[in-house]
Amino acid sequence: MKLWEKGINPEPAIIEFTAGKDRKTDLALTKWDIVGSMAHVIMLQDVGLISEEEKNGMLKALHSLFEWDEEGSLVIEKDVEDIHSQIEKEMSSILGTTGKKIHTGRSRNDQVLVDIRLYTREEIDKLSVHIRNLFIRLQDLSEQYKEELLPGYTHMQPAMVSSFGLWFGAWAECLADDIVMLAGARAINNQNPLGTAAGYGTTLPINRKLTSELLEFDDLLYNSAYASLSRGKIEMAVASALASVAQTLSRFSMDICIYMSSEYRFIDFPDEYVTGSSIMPQKRNPDVFELIRARCNVIQTLPNQIAILTSNLQSGYNRDLQLLKMLVFDAFGELRECIEIMLLMLNNIKVKKNITENSLYNTIFSTEEVNRLVKHGIPFRDAYKAVSEMVKNSSFSKTTLADYVHEGSIGNLCNKEIADLFEERMKPFINTSAAEFAEKMMKHVTA
Ligand code: ARG
């Protein structure tokens, strides 16, 4: 069954190739395709394109399809191209002629656009909760270990005194910026493309504002041609936000792999959380963090993949766009899995104490020695030169947390300020499920 069949039997190999992975990928969109269709039906009746009775029948049928999907019994059949076709097929078999009216005033192009945006909004909101959990854990660790000093590195060489408080807290503040990217992607995403049809509107008197309100979009995506252009653009915005989160997780994982190595041994995990080698009995490997690093590095290639996939397309719909779905859809789940396992590891992390007592790290206190002289009125460059002479043979007296007072230093982490910023930035994420939307739509059934 093809929605576009006109008496000629399509060649099966062509259908298989063009459907590609859609029969699987589109299952992520099912719930939202139904919710979008419910809003569309309510609007069609409101503008007089279908009767009240037809609206009631269609809403009830769509609600049953929603329930079938929840039970796992709604599938995309072998001869059906995608979820949009399957739902129209089901509607016709439940309602006969009335079911065939569901596609009035829309195209699969705006239908898939609205599905993707509703699905993406939900995924973004779910991801924000994961990021928040990780943020809170990192801040807790930062507070718990704020007294424990650590060498800070530049060029991978011991540089200055740092602390576990500063290190854990740095990754937390990194996430506070990632959340801004995610909120930006959410705002761009949260505009309604439904009603732009194939990309050039429709002569039917549809009410796009009404579907926008019903689906709780911030506004319309106005220009019909831009709506189809926005496919690829929206994925780019979302992928950039996901890449930003992935960058944080990947770089943090790299630090953990290094700090866990036997040359450093700054941190450790219980035996149950590390892996071994089939040949070397001594090995305790940080495989979890290596895999987070690898998976997040792959996610960071997404903006590039999207740019290349869309770079030579004429405006208007092109089938190439279909492949964007699996690229971005998979990345949400990947990131959530990485965050969950990272949280499990961080709940069991062990932090070594008194690391900077080791004479190996004596030189990290030399800059503070320079500052001591500066405080006595010696010009900085003269003080620097004097201390440079001492670097090889002397040990420097150790600075403590109390010596650092400015904002964002080891003695004044400002975790509270960062937490306030984070919570403020979390405000745009709302998290309304498809099931809640479906229930709201059913309130429009009048009999
Ligand atoms: N599976 C298609 C996609 O994801 C749905 C839209 C089909 N539109 C079309 N004109 N062939 O892009």
- Residue 103 included in any domain: no
- Residue 106 included in any domain: no
Residues 384 and 316 in one domain: no
Residues 391 and 326 in one domain: no
- Residue ranges making up the domain that contains 405: 358-411
Q: What is the CA(191)–ligand 1 centre distance, in A?
A: 20
Kindly give the number of the ligand 1 atom that is closest to the alpha carbon of 22. Answer: 1
Kindly give the number of the ligand 1 atom that is closest to the alpha carbon of 321. Answer: 12
- Residue 13 included in any domain: no
- What is the reported pLDDT for 207? 98
**What is the per-residue pLDDT across 265-299, written as a single tens digit (0 to 9) for each?**
999 999 999 887 777 777 788 899 999 999 999 99
Q: What is the CA(322)–ligand 1 centre distance, in A?
A: 6
CA triple 141-147-151, angle to 5 deg: 90
Asked if residue 190 lies in contact with residue 121, where contact means CB atoms within 8 angstroms, the answer is: yes
Residues 368 and 304 in one domain: no
Residue 330, CB half-sphere, CA atoms under 13 Å: how many? 13
Residues 382 and 280 in one domain: no
- What is the reported pLDDT for 392? 79
Residues 242 and 344 in one domain: yes
Residue nearest to atom 3 of ligand 1 (CA): 322
Kindly give the number of the ligand 1 atom that is closest to the alpha carbon of 325. Answer: 4
Pocket flag, ligand 1, residue 257 (CB < 6 Å): no
Pocket flag, ligand 1, residue 45 (CB < 6 Å): no
In this structure, what CATH number is given to the domain that contains residue 239? 1.20.200.10
Residue bearing tokens 């540089």? 159
Residues 287 and 366 in one domain: no
- What is the reported pLDDT for 4? 62
- Residue 37 included in any domain: no
Question: Percentage of the chain surpassing pLDDT 70?
Answer: 99
Residue nearest to atom 2 of ligand 1 (CA): 322
Q: What is the CA radius of gyration of the chain?
A: 28
Kindly give the number of the ligand 1 atom that is closest to the alpha carbon of 19. Answer: 1
Please tell me the least confidently modeled range out of 254-268, 373-387, 388-402: 388-402
- Residue 276 included in any domain: yes
- Residue 280 included in any domain: yes
Tell whether pTM > 0.85.
yes
Q: Are strands 191-192 and 219-220 parallel, antiparallel or unpaired?
A: parallel
- What is the reported pLDDT for 284? 81
User: What's the rounded mean pLDDT across residues 353-367?
Assistant: 91
Q: Three-state SS across 189-225?
A: HCEECCCCCCCCCCCCCCCHHHHHHHCCCCEECCCHH
Pocket flag, ligand 1, residue 109 (CB < 6 Å): yes
Kindly give the number of the ligand 1 atom that is closest to the alpha carbon of 84. Answer: 5
Q: What is the CA(92)–ligand 1 centre distance, in A?
A: 20
- What is the reported pLDDT for 60? 97
Q: What is the CA(210)–ligand 1 centre distance, in A?
A: 24
Residues 179 and 287 in one domain: yes
Residues 262 and 338 in one domain: yes
Burial class from Cβ neighbours inside 10 Å (0-12, 13-18, 19+) for residue 336 reads middle
- Residue 112 included in any domain: no
Pocket flag, ligand 1, residue 429 (CB < 6 Å): no
Pocket flag, ligand 1, residue 33 (CB < 6 Å): no
Q: Which of 82, 86, 103, 114 to mutate to test the pocket of ligand 1 (most atoms within 8 A of CB)?
A: 82
Residues 243 and 334 in one domain: yes
User: What's the rounded mean pLDDT across residues 155-162?
Assistant: 94
Asked if residue 435 lies in contact with residue 442, where contact means CB atoms within 8 angstroms, the answer is: no
- Residue 105 included in any domain: no
Residues 404 and 427 in one domain: no
Nearest of 159, 162, 164, 161 to residue 397 by alpha carbon: 161
Residues 369 and 251 in one domain: no
Pocket flag, ligand 1, residue 122 (CB < 6 Å): no
Pocket flag, ligand 1, residue 321 (CB < 6 Å): yes
What is the C-alpha separation between 303 and 308, in angstroms, rounded? 9
What letter represents residue 445's amino acid?
Answer: V
In the chain, the number of structural domains is 2
Residues 280 and 402 in one domain: no
Pocket flag, ligand 1, residue 217 (CB < 6 Å): no
Q: Which two tokens stand for residue 235?
A: 């994925």
Asked if residue 332 lies in contact with residue 245, where contact means CB atoms within 8 angstroms, the answer is: no
State whether residue 49 is helix, strand or coil.
coil
Q: What is the CA(71)–ligand 1 centre distance, in A?
A: 26
Q: What is the CA(88)–ligand 1 centre distance, in A?
A: 14
Kindly give the number of the ligand 1 atom that is closest to the alpha carbon of 319. Answer: 12
Q: Which two tokens stand for residue 212?
A: 């926008």
- Pick the more confident residue, 2 or 209: 209
Q: To 10 degrees, the CA torsion angle through 83, 86, 88, 94? A: -140
- What is the reported pLDDT for 141? 98
- What is the reported pLDDT for 375? 92
Q: What is the CA(321)–ligand 1 centre distance, in A?
A: 8
Q: Which of 14, 21, 116, 319 to mutate to test the pocket of ligand 1 (most atoms within 8 A of CB)?
A: 319
What is the chain's mean pLDDT, rounded? 94
User: What's the rounded mean pLDDT across residues 317-325?
Assistant: 96
Q: What is the CA(361)–ligand 1 centre distance, in A?
A: 61
User: How far is residue 180 from each of residues 169, 183, 245, measured CA to CA in Å?
Assistant: 17, 5, 10
